[in-house]
Amino acid sequence: MSLFKKEYDQFLEKAQKHNFKSPDGIFINDFSLPKDTIFGIDINNFLIIILPLNNQISGFQIKDFMRLKDKTVFFVENDNKKIIGSPLIFKRKNKNDHLSLLSQINQILKSDEYLNLLAQYFDFLQKAHNSRNNFNSAAFFAEACTILKLLKTLPHIADQWDSSANSTIDIAPSELNPAIEVKSTINEFERIHTLSIHQIKYFQRNINSLLASVVVFHDGAVSCKSICEKLISRLKPDERGYKYIQGFLLAYSDITSFTESCFDEGMTINSIRFYETTFDDLPLNNPPKWLIGGNLKISTDFLKESKNF
């Protein structure tokens, strides 16, 4: 794809100057992806990838971001012919976003298991896009710094990252790592964090789980986008963590606080502390029926710091 990257600017320029004859037209690139998968640009300057599908993956739409349609007929503008296929429509016009998506689709199509891998990748993108409304740059940066710190001793920890508003725990457990919930603060003198009742109950049921407390320092030079790019540079493209983080890079690319709000990476990473969290003195194993939710503020001054991390 390195050679293709050098040519993509030239291709985009031609496509954008083209006078489309049909609203369903596509200006295709001479370069194709594995399995003879063609791609091009439509009249809106959206990236269109005609995937080798035969209704094995159901169509879907992620508002203002991406759509997979069932078999559709297209007019090839620069070849005066019609083609039929299942188009993946990427509703972004940024060249680097195009290249990022093409690179991942290219990697997936090389595999004999490409159908399962495509479905998994689309799920990652859906989750990333759904979490946009709850995006908090400082909290996200704290999670990314925690993953970056742990990569040194746990090279597959990014595979366990599950940063979303619906997840109880940010880093899922595996054979190599305990479950880890990441909490952030900008107060370097007092670490007070908020946990939900559901998280407290999770810690009580899973006594080896840890709480990562992170002080996020502003006035740095590293954005959430930058640290995501740093993370995937240390991962392999076929790893779950790579695809998951690349999903953020695509879904959040138009969020200003993701691309422009900057923090101090070194001081933030150095601030990370891991705490044991049994919470066995809270009577939540058999809570009253009326207790269906809520939040608790806790101070790490009264928690035991883990010796293993």
Note the pLDDT of residue 87: 94
Whether pTM exceeds 0.85: yes
Structural contact between residues 92 and 70, judged by C-beta atoms closer than 8 angstroms: no
The tokens of 256 are what?
């200003």
What is the model's pLDDT at position 180?
A: 97
Question: What pLDDT is attached to residue 3?
Answer: 46
Angle between helices 137-150 and 224-232 (to 10 degrees): 20
pLDDT, tens digit (0-9, with 9 covering 90-100), for 39-52: 999 999 999 999 99
Contact 183, 214 (CB under 8 A): yes
pLDDT digits (tens, 9 = 90+) for 12-29: 999 999 999 988 899 999
Burial 94-105 (b: 16+ CB within 10 A, else e): eeebbebbbbbb
Return d(Cα 245, Cα 188) in angstroms, integer: 28
Classified as helix, coil or strand, 129 is helix
Please report the pLDDT score of residue 165 as a whole number.
63
pLDDT tens track, the chain, 309 positions: 554 777 888 899 999 999 999 888 999 998 889 999 999 999 999 999 999 988 788 889 998 899 999 888 989 999 888 989 999 999 999 999 999 999 999 999 999 999 999 999 999 999 888 888 889 999 999 999 999 999 999 999 999 998 766 788 999 999 999 999 999 999 999 999 999 988 988 998 899 999 999 999 998 999 999 999 999 999 999 899 999 999 999 999 999 999 999 999 999 999 999 999 878 878 776 777 777 778 999 999 999 999 887
Rounded CA separation 91/200 (Å): 40
